[in-house]
Chain A
Amino acid sequence: MRGTTEAINLVAYSWGLNNLGKGDEVLVSLVEHHSNIVPWEITSKLRGFTIKYAKVHPDGTLDYDDFESKLCSKTKIACLSHVSNVTGVINDVKRIGKVAHENGALMLVDGAQSVPHMNVDVQDLNMDFLAFSGHKMLGPTGIGVLYGKKEVLEKMPPFMGGGEMIKEVSINESKGQCSVSWNELPWKFEAGTPNISGAIGLGEAVRYLEDLGMDNVLSHEKELAKYAVERMKECGKVTIYGPSSISDKLGIIPFAIDGLSSHDVALFFDNYGIMMRSGFHCAQPLHEFFKLHSSARASFYIYNTQEEVGRFMEILKEIEQL
């Protein structure tokens, strides 16, 4: 896969187009990245199924009661981000997956923001699909992963045709027929020349993170986020969105400063060599829910230090004076 987006598109097209129709429902949440909404919106137009959106609480945490009440026998797949890319909230995908399976639905997890930052055990969490990207976990861009349960993947037709995904192509010109058979998994979904260098790079990134230990990665990030949130609360003009406690979230802090657009904030930090994302973060529905035009997002990873958080705070206090 090229990344999480392509992985979810593969499921929406290969599994969705062949398993969804009128009367069926796909359940997603309002916290989703556009990549876990738009592929379903596109394929719903082709197959006529309905998409249901589960609500979130005012602090950005998932409304589990709403999600679970919308899971029913019509639901064929539940799609949920493991960690919100806007708030950093960790969703209990095991709980949702259990209810999804009890209703006969599959469970797709967008792991773009969880796999790089914490231990994710696909067997323990019992997810049917997990998608994630290389570039968010120290790997190259243009490479990602779709995990799927073998028995589900076996029943899915190829997403794209040609190259590695072929076992045999035979043309009988006199009969005007072409018979095609697919390769085995995982090559059935590996059309064209593979991204060899990307896969090697991602493999090394995985080894590097495993050597560090994902528990260490998570605790380092949480430590930085806790320190940053505590310091940010000292700033009178700063509003932090999402839950106030960092116990169930990762090192992602969405915030706003009174009287300034998120882009002003990001450009100000940029001037000091600190990069942050501003805008909708490809999650417009969640921003609309928060009634926000956009937000600035500070995020931390293993290469960040407490001194850098301190520098971030110095600049934040300067911006407050604008």
Chain B
Amino acid sequence: MATVEDYVARIEGTCGAESDVIVVFKYEKKDEAIANILKKATLKSKIAGIIFELTFGNASFRLYSNGKAIFRGIKNKEELNRLLAGLLL
């Protein structure tokens, strides 16, 4: 059974006052991760097919076609894990 760790290479808290989190997907799994996310999240806007502005539940985030995503206003690790599980699995 797939897990969040199968898709995620690393998670970085951003440096700054914002509580944003950048998720970097594993290179070999990034296309699958992006496909899963686009299936489950609601698309708000798309720029040139490479940047997707999305929402999922109360969360808003931006997904990049190079396999990175930035989630805004994440309170803690548990919230992010729940979000990623919902989007990826």
Contacts and interface: CB of A to CB of B under 8 A. Distances in A.
A271 B70 contact: no
B50 interface: yes
A318 B48 CA distance: 10
A264 B68 CA distance: 11
Interface in A168-187: none
Given A279-B14, A294-B15, A270 B51 contact: no
Interface in A85-143: none
Contact of B16 (A267, A280, A322): A280
Contact of A270 (B15, B16, B20, B66): B66
Contact of A262 (B16, B47, B72): B16
B64 A261 contact: no
A293 interface: yes
Interface in A278-322: 278-282, 287, 292-294, 318, 321-322
Contacts of B62: 264, 267
A279 B66 CA distance: 21
Interface of B: 14-18, 20, 22, 47-48, 50-51, 62, 64-66, 68, 70, 72
B14 A294 contact: yes
B70 to A, nearest CB: 6
Given A268-B51, A318-B47, A263 B66 contact: no
A169 B6 CA distance: 54
A interface, by DSSP: helix, strand, loop or mixed? mixed
A263 B22 contact: yes
A264 B15 contact: no
Interface of A: 261-264, 267-268, 270-271, 278-282, 287, 292-294, 318, 321-322
A294 B15 CA distance: 8
Contacts, number: 58
B51 A294 contact: no
Nearest to A288: B17
A264 to B, nearest CB: 6
Contact of A267 (B15, B18, B48, B70): B70
Contact of A264 (B17, B48, B50, B70): B70
Contacts of B64: 267-268, 270-271
A18 B16 CA distance: 35
Contacts of B15: 278-282, 294
A261 B18 contact: yes
Nearest to A260: B62
Contacts of A322: 47, 51
A271 B51 CA distance: 9
Nearest to A262: B16
